[in-house]
Amino acid sequence: MRIAQVSVIALILALFVGCATPTAESLRVERTDDAYVLTVPVSRLRMSMPKGGFTQQTNRLGGPTANPRYFYFVDARRALFLSGWFESQERFKGIQALLTEQIVSWRRNGLPAPKNVTFERVGEWQVICYEMQTPIAELCDIHVRASWIQAGTWLDLHLSVASRETKAAAKEKLVDLLRSIRVEEEGAHPAQVSNGSVFALSRTLVR
């Protein structure tokens, strides 16, 4: 009986360890002196974002945030939030379709539609800028959803800030943060390195 109990415990531990072990399709985050470097082993992409006051957090909302390639960073002092995913290009249907899908999800969860929506370009990023309603009149809640599409991969970022600054100043803060993100392709010529991404992901990377 004791041998059987030990065997069961060993099996449970083995399963736990197996589930916890990162796979080639899981996000990996490395900290340097001044940046966070994000990679997914099956891709050639390396995304670097300035560390600043950001700390990596765990978002326990479930749904898309349970994706093994999801990341979430918070700068509590400046009320800045940066999250996103590494995904297959096949999932990207355009930023208008992306916004429509998001609005449907918000309505399903009883949330209001965004205000002051604009579609823009920031370098090679395809960007949606919008504002969400807040219960505090002097507080603005500004969001930037940015997509980079290349070499079969979609890098999907969501930046937001809650601020008492003007809406224009809050938006510029997010755009500046987006511009500060550096993405490199493993083995790429230096001329190919920019604040954009050049990488390829397995078609199995879907959320």
At 22 the pLDDT is 56
At 21 the pLDDT is 53
At 188 the pLDDT is 61
At 150 the pLDDT is 76
CATH code of residue 109 = 2.60.120.1690
Q: Indicate whether 173 belongs to any domain.
A: yes
> Strand 140-150's sheet: what is its strand order?
55-56, 70-75, 80-88, 153-163, 140-150, 125-132, 115-122
Q: Indicate whether 6 belongs to any domain.
A: no
Q: Indicate whether 48 belongs to any domain.
A: yes
At 42 the pLDDT is 77
Q: Indicate whether 42 belongs to any domain.
A: yes
Q: Indicate whether 66 belongs to any domain.
A: yes
Q: Indicate whether 106 belongs to any domain.
A: yes
Q: Indicate whether 131 belongs to any domain.
A: yes
What does each of the 207 residues of the chain score in pLDDT, given as a tens digit? Answer: 444 443 433 333 333 333 445 577 888 899 999 999 988 887 777 889 999 999 999 877 766 777 788 999 999 999 999 999 988 888 999 999 999 999 999 999 899 999 999 999 998 899 999 999 988 888 999 999 999 887 777 889 999 999 999 999 999 999 999 999 987 877 665 444 445 433 334 333 333
When divided into structural domains, the chain yields a total of: 1
Domain that holds residue 33: 24-192
Q: Name the token pair of 174.
A: 């997010």
Q: Indicate whether 13 belongs to any domain.
A: no
95: helix, coil or strand? Answer: helix
Question: Structure pTM?
Answer: 0.78
At 132 the pLDDT is 95
Q: Which of 147, 113, 148 is nearest to 131 (CA)?
A: 113
